[in-house]
């Protein structure tokens, strides 16, 4: 099946009426053109930039996904200039076609706009022709913004067409928000600005604020001053007095913007959807009669019902009281009915969040395009899709976009985050309906954000507690029980062991070989041998036995079996002997085994028994060549000197001559005892010294190379990178982080 175009829509505050209408136009035209839509939308406009809002911007990294074919960008819905610049840069980096909506001219992006000029001219005509007003002010938006200037031009055209003077002090630039309206009202009330007959405002929120401020100051609306708005918002319709406003053709704007981006991408013209034109809706605030009461739709009534319900129900407490993402998803499943007319829902979390238990509490959860995502909750209407709990890469946006379908889809993709922590995103679709989400969805998402943060904190604290508990009973490196763990396990399994036998063998295995000179000062070598030896001991132990690391160089085994010590020694000795052939797990070293047999009874002390076992050594394993060969001690001393001074020009011929050995015999015996050649050992010791200097000194890499015995800087860098996978400079930079 041919891949559908996927068009990204960058917008915010989708619950606002005029933006919702734009989106309806976009989605309607996209569906008619058989294209998919992904609406990347946070829940706010970044007017104030808090840490929480800063983190929610991470969702826009998805812009760089190769999955997108183009973008529609409503730049003016983002009130913060930094946010606008960030989005501009991301869209430019994407290299995909971009269409701006209602924006000023851009050096790179195309733009589609609505004719606000004729709309404002129509509003002003109404005040002049119907109400006979002449002294009319205009409060538009910010200066030099196209939508502000267009509305102001329409007002001026109307005044000019009617032959009414329009001096500069009749025109006021504002902010499309409350501040400018409050300032203008205060100036009129105080007399600093002469009282007009009417004021046409750039949007409904300005008109509502201005009306309330004037009435509070003793000026009647519309008796003393008529006020009109723009956008025909629900807030204006519910206000008292009801705001006269203009229903902007936002649906047409969205549909036309999509048709233009479609043509830019494909070179083809798609069929138009039926457009909805704008019209002026006169009512109380301009002095017209109140229109007949409009019965609220079923959708409005249901949304109001759900909004009341969510505030009185225990959703937040219920989804917060969970311990992991899976349990959280199960609880959240009970509250998806709040999403009116929802057809598909996907709650997608990053793998970083899923595995956050291993992170520090104050370590932020970041988001990158190559992050692995997991769908923890997938619903199609009321049916939960358990088979869709899948993983995908964030750059794929949603796995649903890769499905073979006979119909296009549209999803609202909203970030899930809390302060500096980014959790993932929620994706909701209304199917064939060209709907947007309501204010209720914002409550719902914010509850999820709070709950996910609680789950994150609880998960980390629980894991830390378990880790601390584990550390009290288990050895960190070998994974075996430590001394406390052996004692506790013996206490717990005493009765179980009694059922097998009345006696127990307390076996102590001592790594005596680690006390030899060749291992002194080489902690890494000793540690590797202990870990490897622990694996061999573990492989010899049955389910009915207890095994642990009793001290630094000794292991404890408690067995309810008879004559277990001999069997264990023989098996372990054979495995130790064979380990000499393993390059990484060679633990062919001297060890001894002692045993103490005691009847299982209350009050029996494993510590006392294991001490007695250490005194009662009955089996000893020795590395025969090491004991019989008189050169072994010499080679141990040699290795110690190389370890302390790896920078010296060690030469195999000179070493053989000094030890009165042939070169071939020296190399053979050295590798037999230590598992590697003299030269390889020297290189390893040089690199260990180099790593120490890189992290603990300010020496240059060139000086460190000389200090470690390298005459060639390039050879040092090649050898270091071959061993560590990074250059010396990269290693230092990584360790300093």
The predicted-structure confidence for 639-677, as pLDDT tens digits, reads as follows 778 888 889 989 989 888 888 888 888 888 888 777 778
Helices (H), strands (E): how many in the chain?
A: 26, 22
Please report the sign of the dihedral spanned by the C-alpha atoms of residue 680, residue 686, residue 690, residue 696: positive
- Spatial separation of the C-alpha atoms in residues 438 and 32, rounded to whole Å: 24
Q: What is the pLDDT of residue 462?
A: 86
Q: What is the pLDDT of residue 626?
A: 42
- Spatial separation of the C-alpha atoms in residues 251 and 257, rounded to whole Å: 10
Q: For residue 351, is pLDDT > 90?
A: yes
Q: Which value, to the nearest 10 degrees, does the dihedral of the CA atoms of residues 125, 129, 131, 134 take?
A: 70
Please report the sign of the dihedral spanned by the C-alpha atoms of residue 265, residue 270, residue 272, residue 273: negative
Residue 474 gets which letter from DSSP?
Answer: B
Angle, helices 146-161 vs 116-129, to 10°: value is: 40
- Spatial separation of the C-alpha atoms in residues 270 and 599, rounded to whole Å: 90
Higher pLDDT, 470 or 268: 268
Per-residue pLDDT band at 711 (split at 50, 70, 90): confident
| CATH architecture of the domain covering 632-736 | Orthogonal Bundle (1.10)
Of 37-41, 106-110, 410-414, where does mean pLDDT reach its minimum?
A: 106-110
The predicted-structure confidence for 288-341, as pLDDT tens digits, reads as follows 998 776 656 666 777 777 777 777 778 888 999 988 899 999 999 999 988 888
Residue 121: helix, strand or coil by DSSP? helix
- Spatial separation of the C-alpha atoms in residues 325 and 312, rounded to whole Å: 25
Burial of residue 628 (CB within 10 Å: 0-12, 13-18, 19+) is exposed
Q: What is the pLDDT of residue 73?
A: 94
Which residue's entry shows tokens 């034109």? Answer: 277
Of 204-218, 378-392, 617-631, where does mean pLDDT reach its minimum?
A: 617-631
Higher pLDDT, 524 or 494: 494
- Spatial separation of the C-alpha atoms in residues 674 and 524, rounded to whole Å: 13
Q: What is the pLDDT of residue 625?
A: 45
Give me 682's structure tokens.
Answer: 């020297």
φ, ψ of residue 330 to 5 degrees: the values are -60, -40
Strands 36-40 and 70-73: unpaired
Q: What is the pLDDT of residue 521?
A: 63
- Spatial separation of the C-alpha atoms in residues 467 and 462, rounded to whole Å: 8
Q: What is the pLDDT of residue 575?
A: 87
- Spatial separation of the C-alpha atoms in residues 298 and 147, rounded to whole Å: 34
Angle, helices 523-539 vs 564-578, to 10°: value is: 130
Q: DSSP letters along 503-557, please?
A: EEEEEEEE-GGGGSGGGTT-HHHHHHHHHHHHHHHHHT--TTSEEEEEETTEEEE
For residue 374, the surrounding DSSP H or E stretch is strand 372-380
Please give the class, per CATH, of domain 483-628: alpha beta
CATH superfamily of this structure's domain 116-247: Response regulator (3.40.50.2300)
pTM above 0.85, yes or no: no
- How are strands ordered across the β-sheet holding 136-140? 171-173, 136-140, 198-201, 226-228
Q: What is the pLDDT of residue 476?
A: 83
Tell me how far CA of residue 579 lies from CA of 354, 480, 536, 623, 628, in angstroms: 39, 20, 9, 12, 20
Residue 43 gets which letter from DSSP?
Answer: S
Q: What is the pLDDT of residue 177?
A: 87
Q: What is the pLDDT of residue 1?
A: 45
Helices in 33-80 by DSSP H: which ranges? 51-56
Please report the sign of the dihedral spanned by the C-alpha atoms of residue 216, residue 219, residue 222, residue 228: negative
Higher pLDDT, 708 or 303: 708
Which fold would CATH assign to domain 6-107+253-270? Rossmann fold (3.40.50)
- By residue count, the chain amounts to 737
- Do the first three CATH levels of 483-628 and 632-736 match, i.e. the same topology? no
Of 17-21, 163-167, 234-238, 634-638, where does mean pLDDT reach its minimum?
A: 634-638
| Structural domain spans, the chain | 6-107+253-270, 116-247, 314-408+419-425+435-468, 483-628, 632-736
- Spatial separation of the C-alpha atoms in residues 586 and 578, rounded to whole Å: 8
Prior bond to 13 cis, omega within 30? no
């Amino acid at each position: 099946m041919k891949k559908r175009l996927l068009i990204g829509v960058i917008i915010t505050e989708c619950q606002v009426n005029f933006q919702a209408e734009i989106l309806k136009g976009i989605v309607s035209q996209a569906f008619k053109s058989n294209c998919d839509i992904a609406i990347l939308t946070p829940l706010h406009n970044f007017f104030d930039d808090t840490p929480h809002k800063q983190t929610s911007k991470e969702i826009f990294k998805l812009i760089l996904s190769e999955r997108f074919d183009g973008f529609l960008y409503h730049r003016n819905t983002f009130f913060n200039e930094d946010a606008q610049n960030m989005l501009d840069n991301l869209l430019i980096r994407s290299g995909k076609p971009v269409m701006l909506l209602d924006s000023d001219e851009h050096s790179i992006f195309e733009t589609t706009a609505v004719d606000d000029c004729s709309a404002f001219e129509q509003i002003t005509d109404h005040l002049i022709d119907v109400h006979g007003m002449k002294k009319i002010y205009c409060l538009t938006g910010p200066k030099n913004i196209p939508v502000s200037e267009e509305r102001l031009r329409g007002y001026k055209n109307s005044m000019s067409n009617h032959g009414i003077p329009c001096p500069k002090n009749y025109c006021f630039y504002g902010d499309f928000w409350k501040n400018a309206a409050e300032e203008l009202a205060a100036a009129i009330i105080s007399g600093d600005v002469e009282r007009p007959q009417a004021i046409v405002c750039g949007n409904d929120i300005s008109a509502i604020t201005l009306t309330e401020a004037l009435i509070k100051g003793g000026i009647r609306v519309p008796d003393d001053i008529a006020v009109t708005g723009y956008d025909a918002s629900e807030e204006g319709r519910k206000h008292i007095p009801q705001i006269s406003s203009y229903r902007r053709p936002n649906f047409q704007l969205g549909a036309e913007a999509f048709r233009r981006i479609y043509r830019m991408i494909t070179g083809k013209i798609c069929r138009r959807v039926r457009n909805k034109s704008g019209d002026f809706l006169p009512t109380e605030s301009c002095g017209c009669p109140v229109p007949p009461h409009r019965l609220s739709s079923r959708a409005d009534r249901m949304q109001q019902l759900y909004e009341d319900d969510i505030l009185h129900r225990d959703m937040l407490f219920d989804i917060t009281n969970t311990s992991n993402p899976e349990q959280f998803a199960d609880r959240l499943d009970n509250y998806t009915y709040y999403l009116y007319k929802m057809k598909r829902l996907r709650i997608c979390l990053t793998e970083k969040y899923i595995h956050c238990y291993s992170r520090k509490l104050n370590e932020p959860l970041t988001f990158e395009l190559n992050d692995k995502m997991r769908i923890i909750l997938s619903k199609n209407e009321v049916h939960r899709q358990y088979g869709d709990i899948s993983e995908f890469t964030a750059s794929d946006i949603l796995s649903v976009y890769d499905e073979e379908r006979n119909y296009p889809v549209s999803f609202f993709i909203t970030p899930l985050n809390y302060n500096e922590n980014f959790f993932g995103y929620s994706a909701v679709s209304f199917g064939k309906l060209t709907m947007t989400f309501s204010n209720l969805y914002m409550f719902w998402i914010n509850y999820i954000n709070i709950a996910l943060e609680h789950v994150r904190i609880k998960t980390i604290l629980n894991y830390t507690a378990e880790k601390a508990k584990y550390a009290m009973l288990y050895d960190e490196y070998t994974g075996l029980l430590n001394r406390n763990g052996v004692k506790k396990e013996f206490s717990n399994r005493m009765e179980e062991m009694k059922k097998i036998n009345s006696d127990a063998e307390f076996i102590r295995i001592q790594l005596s070989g680690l006390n030899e000179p060749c291992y002194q000062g080489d902690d890494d070598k000793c540690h590797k041998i202990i870990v490897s030896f622990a694996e061999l001991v573990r492989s010899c132990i049955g389910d009915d036995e207890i095994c642990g690391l009793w001290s630094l160089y000794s292991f404890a085994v408690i067995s309810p079996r008879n004559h277990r010590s001999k069997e264990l020694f023989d098996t372990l000795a054979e495995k130790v002997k064979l380990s000499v052939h393993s390059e990484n797990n060679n633990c062919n070293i001297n060890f001894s085994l002692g045993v103490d047999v005691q009847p299982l009874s209350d009050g029996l002390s494993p510590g006392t028994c294991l001490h007695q076992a250490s005194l009662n050594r009955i089996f000893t394993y020795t590395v025969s060549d090491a004991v019989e060969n008189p050169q072994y001690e010499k080679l141990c001393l040699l290795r110690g000197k190389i370890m302390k001074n790896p920078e010296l020009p060690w030469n195999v011929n000179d070493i053989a001559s000094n030890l009165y050995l042939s070169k071939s015999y020296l190399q053979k015996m050295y590798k037999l005892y230590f598992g590697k050649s003299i030269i390889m050992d020297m290189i390893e010791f040089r690199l260990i010294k180099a790593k120490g200097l890189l992290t603990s000194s300010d020496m240059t890499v060139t000086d460190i190379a000389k200090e470690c015995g390298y005459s060639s800087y390039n050879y040092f860098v090649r050898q270091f990178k071959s061993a560590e996978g990074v250059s010396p400079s990269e290693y230092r930079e990584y360790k300093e982080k």
